Amino acid sequence: MSDKDLFPNGWVPTTRYPDPAVQSLDPAFDKYRLPLAGVERLASGMRWSEGPVWFGDARHLLWSDIPNNRIMCWDEQTGQVSEYRAPSNFANGHTRDRQGRLISCEHGGRRITRTEYDGTITVLMDSFDGKPLNSPNDIIVKSDGSIWFSDPVFGILGNYEGYRSDPELTQNVYCLNPDTGEAIVVADDILGPNGLCFSPDESILYIVESRGVPTRKILAYDMGSDGRTLSNKRVQIDAGPGTPDGMRCDVEGNLWCGWGMGDSELDGVMVFAPDGRPIGRIALPERCANLCFGGRANSRIFMAASQSVYALYVNVAGVKGG
């Protein structure tokens, strides 16, 4: 069944199980599909949804609506959608630190922030070597508390997702110690660094090269014994005509990647085995920019897809902290 058959008139929830939008490309994916779970649309009406992050203690999902300069909230208990923070300083990617606090990338301030328990905002980083960051995009927290984020120029290219400005730094990936404020460049040779996540044992860092030539790629790096140094850069996945964006890893090492661009047949989420083999797909009627795991068992996928947010229960849990 093609996507045109699945979504002939836009989004319509499935009336039959298993949901035809959840597709096995390889028998290895079959065990992750729940035959009585379908894709649900939780919210719509955004301009560009990004950076979903789950708060299990509050039973809500937060995500960015970047051009509308706000962070949105979906409440699991009531199903209600509301504004969590507006203006948001054109926030993009989010995660939580190991103390449960919200860690955010902000295009508007070209900075990384932490929302404290009392709601106040602490600026963790807004410059490097005396120069302003570009527009922090996606962000994860390692088990040792260090914060890793990508800093492409997308948010300063115009006034739609931030404030137009000229970059003063190369497009780097950084590792930040939030306790000391010390930051180092861990990768500076990526064309448009975007989504990133660790393997379950944190021995590998995956980074999306969203401006790769001739095709976009997901790169893999080995983590050094110091927990900071990356080596052995390699292409884990060649995206071909697709556009990978944000991604997360499950506890078995599979990569769940927001996907789309151009042909609607690519829109949704692609799932890759640890060896880079495509094994599954979640078809959506919109391009998916980013996703996260959440829910009671950390086994529900929340997908920020253009103007909407979707969810699907799966039979595997996500890695904590991204």
Question: Which residues belong to the annotated binding site for a divalent metal cation?
Answer: 50, 194, 245
Residue 294 corresponds to which tokens in the numbers above? 């959440």
Beta bridge partners, 185, equal 174
Helix (H, G, I), strand (E, B) or coil at 75: strand
Separation between Cα atoms, residue 99 and residue 142, nearest integer Å: 12
Neighbours of 109 (CB within 10 A): 21
Alpha-carbon gap, residue 123 to 45, rounded angstroms = 30
Catalytic residue among 138, 245, 250, 267: 245
Any catalytic annotation for residue 5?
no
Omega prior to 67 cis, within 30 of 0: no
φ, ψ for residue 62, nearest 5 deg: -110, 150
185 is written with which tokens? 């460049």
Measured in degrees and rounded to the nearest 5, phi and psi for residue 73 equal: -140, 130
- Binding-site positions: 50, 137, 194, 245
Enumerate the active-site residues: 245
